[in-house]
Structure 1
Amino acid sequence: MDLFRKKSVDQLVSESTPLKRTMHTFDLTMLGIGAIIGTGIFVLTGKGALTAGPALSVSFLLAAICCGFAGLCYAEFASMAPVSGSAYSYAYLAFGELIAFIIGWDLILEYALQAATVSAGWSGYFNKLLEGFGLHLPVELTAAYGTTPGVTTYFNLPGFVIVLLITWVLSIGINQTKRTNDIMVMIKLIIIVLFIVCTVWFVNPANWHPFSPYGIYTFQPGSTQPYGIVPAASIVFFSFIGFDAVSSSAEETVNPNKTLPKGILLSLAISTVLYIVMTFIMTGVVPYKEFANFIDAPVAGVILATGLNWLAVIVNLGALIGMTTVMLVQLYGQSRICYAMSRDGLFPEFFGHVHEKYRTPFKGTWFFGILTAIAGGFININVLFELVNIGTLSAFIIVSAGILWMRKTQPDAHRGFKAPLVPFTPIISIVFCFILIAGLNWETWVRFAIWFGLGLIVYFGYSRKRSKLEHTNAPEVTDDYVEAAEAGTTK
């Protein structure tokens, strides 16, 4: 038994796919921006400002640099092996099956938790939009149980419904998905630019002093939560998660060797500029300590401070659209990861089933869509969002290390794009990832270790025996075949 058996580049590329190739550079860039710009601007800037002060813009830049170096590594892998699966497939190529499975298992949790977490924020903005029109949902149906202190809530109905609607769009075809995403991202960008143009005139430079009240990293008396630029970067790193999902669209992309690297890097660059400009303006309009008064809706609080009440309705709409695209891309990426793992035999065949008409992994899309909707509807998972960060950072480390290994072991493999300044680029990526991981609290490490342990149980209990690589020269590996093999009745 070889736990580290690998796929070759030829094996990955030659695997036939029934998925439909329709994505171009513009679509991939919109997909990346759709995943990146959302919760970061409309929700996390509040907590980030309280953690770093006006230096939040530096925290965003630090997180962006980490993602930028990792993005260069993703771009090289995507051009070398343009297949579904993102970091899972790249780990299979560089380090073998066990590492690939763990990363795939990690990404499934990442995408599901982020989509469920964002659905809670989406629900909050949706309820505020309804209130603007004099409409009110029963308070018990506005959030999961225990989400709002002092208020009795049981079920996040708006979040549950939006996740199911997104799942339906994803299940009926990639053309419908990309058109929906492209339109929503363009509207979102227009609203963000409108916010910048309207609020920049209210900036008071005195609010930027002191610029970095907590320095690089510090603990406040009586607090277990670290403060400063690095801890804030660890928090807002959540904002950039999603560009890696772009690489999972490889088998639905036209000319992926060239378009995937462009889509990944363009979406990161555009999003970083917008984040930095937004945080400069927000902390310039409102003193950073006042974000405690509207930590869950920081953009709305900034608008309230300017007196531009008419802008609030428009920005609420932008927040809804922004978070919708984030959920769409995360659920899309999750279904493609599961599709790739199922095709390799590491997950049940159910998740690899492709609908004849829609040419999407239909069953797997609905399975995880329903689970995510239920999680966001009933469970207070806001305390778990940092698990998304540590999971993504772990995937970035594996992909960056994979570039170092592949350059050494397969220097002549075809690469449509080469990350510059190797080995420095992947090494810097790894260092930045470890710095951001260090900014997370110890509870996150414990939860991640538990999920990691569950993944090992699934691999050794199910996936190892059903791996297609384990049975490369054997009959097709179905559940019936594995049962027969265990009984010693195969021929």
Structure 2
Amino acid sequence: MENKDLTGIQILGLSVAMLAPSGAMAFNTAGAVQNAGMTAPLSFLLAGIGILFVGFSFVQLGRVIPGEGSAYAYNSKALGERMGFISGWLLILTYVTFAFSSSAIVGNFLNVFLEHFGIRLPVPLYVIAVLLVGGFLSHFGIEFSTRLALILEAFAVGALSVLTVIILLKGGMHGLSGKPFNPKNGSISGIGSGMIFAMMSFAGFEGAATITHRAKNYKKAITVAIIGSVVFGMFFYFIVSYTEIMGYGLNNIAAMKNSAAPLNFLATHYVGKAMAIFIDFASVTSYFACYFGALNSGAFMLKAIADRGYLGSWIAKTSGKKNTPTHALDTITVLALIFWAVIGIGMKVNAGDYYNYLGTIGTIALLLVYVLVNVGVIFYFKRDNKKKIMRHLIAPIIGILVMIFPIYSNLWPIPSWPMNIFPYIVLVWLILGFFMKRKSKA
């Protein structure tokens, strides 16, 4: 029997951890600025509004279709078992690749943090340590995992919030300006391109849907977790991206575009080395929370499809009073170690590129899931007497339209190697899913 002992705050914590808002601001703002220039905050705001429509679709289905498996459970009812499985199959690819990629960037930031104290070890060793520690901690149960993720991300958000307030109070580099809020200071295409990086910052907001069946009040939990994480992310990204631009100064946008660590520069410039150390540690905790959230979300997705007769019963096994899916957790951890050994160490792909490559694969798969969930809302409520035009037709259509741009942008113009092969990796995974046989009923 499933435990019903998670609170709404714990479930919200998993979604916020998957967003890794502090880490996103450390990595994705520069990419958004490269495309949108000073109007990058508008890219984050518009992306948040678009993602909110997708979030509404998750909430609409999650409130009437409780059960393990997130999009798998929803679309099994809305679109049939096969499309439901495909939705879950794509989510597995997303969460597994996010766990892989996030662990690598934790190792990267851990290296940056420890170098402040004269400690210099090979980054690959840090990544291995992160995977082993995370795999061990995950066995303490989802309650522990959600609390840890929430604490780590709260620390990271707090640290970045302090820096944000300091920069704003000091008026930035050359005084605060409203120019970033005026679309005329950029271009429609530039703002749109910047939305790609902004949407990457929202990827994973739906992670809580994998565990809402363990909540005391699942209807309230999924609403708070999904909508709460998106609204929080939208305003946090909007304010922090604006602050980063003001921190560099409107006349120094080029420096921000080319910066590998904009928060490190801002912390050092406005406060000092101590704040830079603090922010670097916050980046470690933010991405570890993201990795931990992806690890747990992936494990619960694997368990969900295994419970329904796919992949074998072994992977669905749970342990302890908390029914922790230890076999699924260990499977992801072992695969992460193998991938890092082969690609990160064997092929000498650095942690940053490893993060970008696997994160892109996961994001492409996730965008397809978002489209399928929106389609699921339209078809599920089409046969429901309680259908509401705005919630069950217009909102999901807007959600689908918002997803088209980043999906198209990953296909055309054709990206350079190796980014050009990533859509085909997702396609192969999708085809494998269509041939996957269900061995038994739940």
Taking structure 2 as the reference length, the TM-score comes to 0.88
Q: Any unmatched runs of 5+ in structure 1?
A: 1-17, 143-155, 218-227, 470-491
The correspondence for 2:157, drawn from 189, 192, 209, is 189
1:357: how far off? Answer: 4.2
User: CA separation in 2, counterparts of 1:73 and 1:293?
Assistant: 37
User: CA separation in 2, counterparts of 1:265 and 1:419?
Assistant: 20
Task: Tell me which residue corresponds to 1:314.
Answer: 278
- Say if 1:323 and 1:339 are closer, same or farther in 2 by CA, change over 3 A: same
1:319: how far off? Answer: 0.8
Does 2:333 correspond to 1:333? no
User: CA separation in 1, counterparts of 2:10 and 2:199?
Assistant: 23
RMSD of Structure 2 on Structure 1 (CA):
2.4
The correspondence for 2:266, drawn from 284, 298, 302, is 302
Deviation per residue, 1:295-353 (Å, 9 max, x gap): 2x221122234353221111111111111111111111111111110011122112211
User: CA separation in 2, counterparts of 1:159 and 1:425?
Assistant: 41
Task: Tell me which residue corresponds to 1:264.
Answer: 226
Does 2:92 correspond to 1:108? yes
Task: Tell me which residue corresponds to 2:403.
Answer: 433
Does 2:430 correspond to 1:466? no
Does 2:79 correspond to 1:95? yes
The correspondence for 1:290, drawn from 230, 251, 255, is 255
User: CA separation in 1, counterparts of 2:438 and 2:179?
Assistant: 61
User: CA separation in 2, counterparts of 1:51 and 1:375?
Assistant: 32
Is the Cα–Cα contact under 8 Å of residues 102 and 456 in structure 1 kept in the other structure? no
Task: Tell me which residue corresponds to 1:352.
Answer: 316
1:425: how far off? Answer: 0.7
| 1:389-468 paired onto structure 2 within 5 Å | 389-411=363-385, 421-441=391-411, 442-443=414-415, 446-457=421-432, 459-460=434-435, 463-468=436-441
User: CA separation in 2, counterparts of 1:202 and 1:163?
Assistant: 41
Amino acid at match of 1:24: T
- Say if 1:92 and 1:64 are closer, same or farther in 2 by CA, change over 3 A: same
Task: Tell me which residue corresponds to 1:34.
Answer: 17
1:420: how far off? Answer: 5.2
Amino acid at match of 1:266: G
More helix by share: 2
Q: Any unmatched runs of 5+ in structure 2?
A: none
Task: Tell me which residue corresponds to 1:247.
Answer: 209
Deviation per residue, 1:104-142 (Å, 9 max, x gap): 2211121122222222322222111111112111xxx21
Deviation per residue, 1:457-483 (Å, 9 max, x gap): 3542xx3251427xxxxxxxxxxxxxx
Task: Tell me which residue corresponds to 2:52.
Answer: 68
Task: Tell me which residue corresponds to 1:25.
Answer: 8
Q: Quick check: which has more Rg, 1 or 2? A: 1
Partner SS state of residue 84, structure 1? coil
Is the Cα–Cα contact under 8 Å of residues 59 and 230 in structure 1 kept in the other structure? yes
Is the Cα–Cα contact under 8 Å of residues 250 and 260 in structure 1 kept in the other structure? yes
Partner SS state of residue 188, structure 2? coil
The correspondence for 2:188, drawn from 216, 219, 222, is 216
Task: Tell me which residue corresponds to 1:222.
Answer: none
Is the Cα–Cα contact under 8 Å of residues 19 and 360 in structure 1 kept in the other structure? no
Structure 1 range deviating more: 203-212 or 163-172: 203-212
| 1:6-155 paired onto structure 2 within 5 Å | 18-36=1-19, 37-137=21-121, 141-142=122-123
- Say if 1:90 and 1:253 are closer, same or farther in 2 by CA, change over 3 A: same
Deviation per residue, 1:370-399 (Å, 9 max, x gap): 212433454333234322222111111111
Percentage of pairs with the same residue: 21
User: CA separation in 2, counterparts of 1:467 and 1:133?
Assistant: 55
1:20: how far off? Answer: 2.2
User: CA separation in 2, counterparts of 1:206 and 1:171?
Assistant: 48
User: CA separation in 1, counterparts of 2:440 and 2:386?
Assistant: 28
User: CA separation in 2, counterparts of 1:254 and 1:331?
Assistant: 23
Is the Cα–Cα contact under 8 Å of residues 268 and 275 in structure 2 kept in the other structure? no
1:166: how far off? Answer: 1.9
Task: Tell me which residue corresponds to 1:224.
Answer: none
Is the Cα–Cα contact under 8 Å of residues 22 and 157 in structure 2 kept in the other structure? no
1:198: how far off? Answer: 1.5
Task: Tell me which residue corresponds to 1:388.
Answer: 362
The correspondence for 2:142, drawn from 168, 174, 192, is 174
Deviation per residue, 1:124-183 (Å, 9 max, x gap): 22111111112111xxx21xxxxxxxxxxxxx2212221232222222212221221232
Is the Cα–Cα contact under 8 Å of residues 360 and 422 in structure 2 kept in the other structure? no
1:202: how far off? Answer: 4.2
Amino acid at match of 2:244: M
Deviation per residue, 1:233-270 (Å, 9 max, x gap): 11231111112111111222111022211121112111
Amino acid at match of 1:370: V
Is the Cα–Cα contact under 8 Å of residues 28 and 264 in structure 1 kept in the other structure? no
1:446: how far off? Answer: 4.8
User: CA separation in 1, counterparts of 2:403 and 2:433?
Assistant: 27
Is the Cα–Cα contact under 8 Å of residues 35 and 243 in structure 1 kept in the other structure? yes
How many equivalent residue pairs?
419
Does 2:136 correspond to 1:162? no
Is the Cα–Cα contact under 8 Å of residues 79 and 380 in structure 2 kept in the other structure? no
Is the Cα–Cα contact under 8 Å of residues 53 and 396 in structure 2 kept in the other structure? yes
1:192: how far off? Answer: 2.0
Is the Cα–Cα contact under 8 Å of residues 17 and 149 in structure 2 kept in the other structure? yes
